Amino acid sequence: MWKFKFPQEGDVAADIRERYGFDGDLLDIYAGNKGAKVHKWHHYLPIYDRYFSRYRGTPVKFLEIGVNNGGSLQMWRRYLGKDAVICGVDINPDCAQYDGQSAMVRIGSQDDPAFLADVVREMGGVDVVLDDGSHQMEHVHTSLEVLFPLLTMGGTYMIEDLHTSYIARFGGGFKQPGNFFNTVRRMIDDMHMWYHNKGKPQVPALAREFSGVHVHDSIVVIDKAELQRPTHSRVQK
């Protein structure tokens, strides 16, 4: 099933350029990475750039769940710039060694609401969340429920590696209740409440404060914005 490994002798940059038509700073930063190891699916690079490029060179407050070898935090520092407030969280105490290198690192579980709230408080708020943590369906849901209400209006919430939604050991499975894409379907229903009027939101954590849900291969992006009642008009000049 999982025969997607890139050949060791392959040209990473060429593969991304040729297959996804993507080029630019983020590709150079990733493909030319030195120092801490960074591991990403190739099709993620253009998706990252699409949603995160507007934050470059700003004092964005960027929270990544999952530190691993520290390479991803290094990549984000190089991409977002010196003014970004970047924090990585991980349950593995070994990750504490990366604190202060490219970002602050805090040790705790993404399944711990108090821990997550403390991290956001220490950051002074959060504009972007990137969930690259355990990929356990229960943990993904808990983090969303805690962090989305704390996200700045106009912010971005991204969850990656959601192919795990189809794997039993992550709490998912095809057409299984825990599959995160079932939550996405309920979010879409909530977004269209004006047309069906079925009462309370099915995903209360979002509180109808989202204007878009974008689904890519293994990635879901949620735009935080107050959901506005639709209006229409006919204009003739």
Catalytic positions: 135
172: CB partners within 8 A, 6+ apart? 137, 164, 165, 166, 178, 179, 180
What phi, psi does 55 have (nearest 5°)?
Answer: -95, -5
DSSP string, 174-191: TT-TT-HHHHHHHHHHHH
Query: How far is it, in rounded angstroms, from Cα 82 to Cα 156?
Result: 20
CA count, 13 A, side-chain hemisphere, 104 = 13
Query: How far is it, in rounded angstroms, from Cα 185 to Cα 36?
Result: 37
CA distances (Å), 227 to each of 28, 193, 209, 224, in order? 37, 10, 5, 9
161: CB partners within 8 A, 6+ apart? 41, 132, 135, 218
Query: How far is it, in rounded angstroms, from Cα 56 to Cα 50?
Result: 12
Beta bridge partners of 221: 158, 214
Q: Give the burial class of 206: count Cβ atoms within 10 A of its Cβ; 0-12 exposed, 13-18 middle, 19 or more buried.
A: buried
